[in-house]
Amino acid sequence: MSAKRRPRLGAPILGVVLLPHSLSAFPSPFTTRLTRAFPHSPLLQLKASAWPQQQRVGELVDWVYTRVPPHLGAAKLLEAAEALLAKNQFELARRKCFIPVSEAGLLEAGFADGGLTMTDRRRMHCTALFGVARCDAALLASRDAALRHPQTLAENLTILSKFRDATQVALQEAGL
C-alpha cells in the first residue's frame, strides 16, 4: 500500500477539511463517468440493459445530494442534470436531479442559503422547473411523437402549464 493514499469520496473522515476539496473535484469526474456510462442513444433510456448504469448514477446523485449543504447540493444536481440531458437520460435527470431541486424549498425564508442571493436561488429554482418540463416533453415525444393517443394532448397541455408556471416564477425577478 502506498503511504500517500487518498481517502475515498465516501470515507468517514470526510469532514470540514476535505469537503471543499471533494466538491471542487466533483464535476469533472462525475461528468466523465456520465459520458462513459451512457452512449449517445435516444432509445437507451428504454432498454433494460441501461438499468444498471442508471441505477449507479442515481445512487451517486443521491449520495452527493445528501452529504453536502443544500445550496451546494442543488447546484451540483443541476450540473448533473445537464450532463444527463446531454446523454438523453431524461427520466433520470427528471427524477433524481430536477424534482429534488424544485422541491428543495429554495424560495422559502428558512432555506440555508450559504451566501446565495435570492436571485441565485430563484434562478436555480426556475432552472429546475424548466428542467422538469423539458424532461416531461422529451419523454412524451419519445412515447408518442405523432400524437396518436388522446391522452397525449392532455399531457402536452399539462407540460405547457408547467412551462407557464416556471415562466411566471422567473418573471418575478427582473434579472432573469
DSSP conformational letter for 88: T
The pLDDT value recorded for residue 166 is 93
Question: Given the C-alpha cell 427520466, which residue does it identify?
Answer: 91
pLDDT tens sequence across 65-103: 778 888 888 888 898 899 888 888 899 899 989 999 998
How many residues are given for the chain? 176
Residue 29 pLDDT exceeds 70: no
Nearest to 107 by CA among 136, 74, 77, 81: 74
The answer to whether 140 and 155 are in contact (CB under 8 A) is yes
Residue 46 pLDDT exceeds 70: no
The answer to whether 50 and 38 are in contact (CB under 8 A) is yes
Name the grid cell of 153: 394532448
CA–CA dist 115, 173 (Å, integer): 18
Residue 34 pLDDT exceeds 80: no
The pLDDT value recorded for residue 132 is 96
Lowest mean pLDDT across 6-10, 59-63, 82-86, 124-128: 6-10
With cut-offs at 50, 70 and 90, classify the pLDDT of residue 176: low
pLDDT tens sequence across 98-135: 999 998 888 887 777 677 888 888 999 999 999 999 99
**Between 25 and 111, the higher pLDDT residue:** 111
3-state secondary structure 36-63: HHCCCCCCHHHCHHHHHHHHHHHHHHHH
